Amino acid sequence: MHFEGVVLDLDGTVYRGGEPIPGAPETIGRLRERGCSLLFCSNNPTKGREAYVDRLAGMGIEATADEVLSAGSVTTRYLRDRHADDLLYVVGSSGLRDQLAAADLRTTDDPEACEALVVSFYRGFDYDTLTDAYLAGKDGCPFVGSDPDVVIPTETGMVPGSGAIVGAVASILERDPDHVLGKPSPEAIAMATDALGVPPARCLMVGDRLDTDIAFGERAGMTTALVRTGVNDDADVAESDVTPDHMLDSIADVERLFD
């Protein structure tokens, strides 16, 4: 096959925690040599594009801000397009708040003043946070989740992600979010396609999660490859309605799909 564009998930695919997956820097360098348009696409909403550029550079991987798409940037775009004039009550990290502020979106610390509730990854999530989220959303204001990842990979194993916190808030409000951004949302697909500048049929999506990465690629019309270095494995594939086109041990094996 010949791919003109490659979308690479980050956590569990290019790196795990602070360490690159073996062979990742070299493989990405060779993809550039092939002339592929690259997009690094993460469901981590806590960092802006430049932070990802710096993180990748520290691992010997070259990237530009235009080659990075995160759940934070997708969420920010969605809120700017749909809730630009609303007061946002945010359950989320300082990194997400910074992205919203940079887009001139207004936030409030008063849950009673909430006009749209935004829920994301937040290490300080506790009973008081849950109570405030309930107060913010109990009267039915728009409820947005940054991404669906219930667990995320780290150097020491899996830990709760944004989806776990979104689920907790949804349970107390007794309603699902009105919209969940990040992969595999239509908004993420549209932003990724625009960034790549390549028809999806000529793109490869490489990731470690069936319900986000592979579903994203499938819905976009891309060829998909699941790597075994993150969340899902062959047993998960056997039980899933989402089926990757290819299974790879790691990102280091991506080039064999070009042969």
CB 227 within 8 A of CB 244: no
Full DSSP string of 40-104? EEE---SS-HHHHHHHHHTTT----GGGEEEHHHHHHHHHHHH-TTSEEEEES-HHHHHHHHHTT
CB burial readout 242-253, b (16+ within 10 A) else e: bebbbebebbbb
> Any catalytic annotation for residue 11?
yes
The H-assigned helical ranges of the chain are: 24-33, 49-57, 71-82, 94-102, 127-137, 162-173, 186-196, 215-220, 234-239
DSSP state of 12: T
Q: What are phi and psi of 150, to 5 degrees?
A: -75, -40
Q: Which of 11, 132, 208, 213 is catalytic?
A: 11
Residue 90's nearest CA partner among 100, 104, 81 is: 100
Looking only at the bridges linking them, the beta strands covering 19-20 and 15-16 are antiparallel
Query: Catalytic residue at 9?
Result: yes
- Residues classed as catalytic: 9, 11
